[in-house]
Amino acid sequence: MSFGARILEQCDALAAISEDASILTRRYLTAEHRRAATLIAGWMRDAGLAVEIDALGNVVGRRAGARPDAPRIVTGSHFDSVVNAGRYDGIFGILCAIAAAGDLAARGVKLPHAIEIVAFGDEEGVRFGFSMVGSRALAGRFDPALLDRRDAEGTTLRDAIVAFGGDAHAIPALSRAHHHVAAFVEVHIEQGPVLLDRNLALGVVTSIAGSTRIAARVTGLAGHAGTVPMGARRDALTAAAEMTLFVESYTAASRGVLVGTVGKLAVAGGGAINVIPGEVALTIDVRAGRDAERLAAVAAIERECRAIALRRNVALEWANLFELAAAPCDERLQAALAASVAAQGIEPFRLPSGAGHDAMEMAHVAPIGMLFVRCGNGGISHHPDETMTAADANLATHALVHFLAHFDAAAMAATAAQ
């Protein structure tokens, strides 16, 4: 059986572990998280790795290097999901890494560097409202105040960790900041159509986009739909609609540098067909591969939204919810991954990632690299229609095997130490 066919079977097995029998939903620190962790740990052991489930529910598999102090390459991805998810997001990067490590072990290939595979327990942030819990801890950036955050049922993160069998007091010890990590490399489905449109199975990521998320509220004046003259209206929804269209037009004019999304547009009280909307809440998400361009865009969007509000005689509240800096991928890792792609007979192609990944947190510990794998079905992701082929999964795994066998981790570690 090829790597790809086996990995897709494993993806199917994990997709069956869900909180809802009709859709795939696997939130952090749930019973389903535990079942998935146990299954992944078993596959890691089958690949010859030493395995632990750590204090935060990350599953970690290790293969020792030539010496106890050998630098390590860390790889992996996440195994939690969004609600009504696809079956390859995150999971593929874990299973690809396990298959690559197992192949190297089965062939008796001895590497000068250690390999550490991490199946991160949380990246999506669905349960507690903040993302990348596991990778934040490994990066030494976990904020203890987050332990008091509650899920929709009122359970704190601290209590969920205890119920899972973890240990909140052990979180600081999870940091890899002083563990001689030469590189973090993540393999992930693209979650978009770029590779598909170019008929390429693999691509090398140049940078992971930073993002700004904003909550805005437009307050006008509700009124009767039949009696208030058009010129006298203070319609919150038409103002919010104009703001929405500006986000689209401004980011579209950047020719691929920016993306902007109004993801929520909610009329207070649900609205009514015969009432002028008096209050509307909206969210804005702006992303770019370079922080300067993203921040300039956010400032320009806020200026125009305030001008729209002034012209339409409505009030505007504006609050930044979240800032995540862009994470450029290391040039040496890009070159090494490109060589591994070329070794599969594929012309190396480089592209940015618009989605966030655990690699963004791990960039605080070590240089990062990322390999994208083609999605089918128009590139759709975070959706049950997410697809990939066994052939592409096979190529990606062979590329990772090549990378792990040929990359000079010692040289990378020595450069980082200087």
pLDDT in tens, 337-361: 999 999 999 999 999 998 889 999 9
Where do the H-state alpha helices sit in 253-352?
A: 291-312, 331-342
- Helix/strand/coil for 336: helix
Digit-coded pLDDT (tens) for 94-114: 999 999 999 999 999 999 999
Asked whether the predicted pLDDT for residue 169 surpasses 60, the reply is: yes
The yes or no reply on domain 3-208+326-417 and CATH 3.40.630.10 is: yes
Amino acid 410: pLDDT: 75
Model pLDDT, residue 144: 95
What tokens appear for 267 in the block? 């009329």
Mean pLDDT of 44-49: 97
State the residue for tokens 């250690």.
114
Write down the pLDDT at residue 69.
Answer: 85
Please state, in angstroms and rounded to a whole number, the distance separating the CA atoms of residues 333 and 73. 11
Residues above pLDDT 90, as percent of the chain: 90
Mean pLDDT for all residues in the chain = 95
3-state class (DSSP) for residue 248: helix
What backbone phi and psi angles, to 5 degrees, belong to 189? -65, 150
Q: Where are the domains of the chain?
A: 3-208+326-417, 210-324
Q: d(Cα 316, Cα 27) in Å, to the nearest integer? A: 35
Is there a contact between 301 and 309 (Cβ–Cβ < 8 Å)?
no
- Which are the contacts of 169, defined by CB distance < 8 A and separation ≥ 6? 55
Task: Compute CA distances 150 → 25, 89, 158, whole Å.
Answer: 19, 25, 9
CA dist 257 and 393 (Å) reads 29
Give the pLDDT confidence score for residue 1 in this predicted structure.
Answer: 52
> Is 173:54 a contact under the CB 8 Å cutoff?
no
pLDDT of residue 114: 95
Place of tokens 């082929």: 389
* Stretch 169-174: mean pLDDT: 96
Residue 230 has pLDDT above 90, yes or no: yes
How far apart CA 333 and CA 205 sit, in angstroms, is: 10
163 touches 127 (CB < 8 A): no
Tokens 């702006």 map to which residue? Answer: 286
> Would you place residue 328 in the very low, low, confident or very high pLDDT band (cuts 50, 70, 90)?
very high
pLDDT at 416 over 70: no
- CATH number for the domain running over 210-324: 3.30.70.360
2 pLDDT band, cuts 50/70/90, is: confident
Mean of the pLDDT values across residues 290-303? 96
* Tokens representing residue 152 in the block: 């929709």
List 356's β-bridge partners, or say none: none
pLDDT at site 417: 59
Cα 223–chain centre separation: 43
pLDDT value at position 68? 84
Tens digit of each residue's pLDDT (9 = 90 or more) over 301-326? 999 999 999 999 999 999 998 888 99
The pLDDT of residue 323 is: 86
Helix axes 31-46, 91-106, angle to 10 degrees: 20
The answer to whether the CB of 53 falls within 8 A of the CB of 94 is: no
pLDDT of 17 above 60: yes
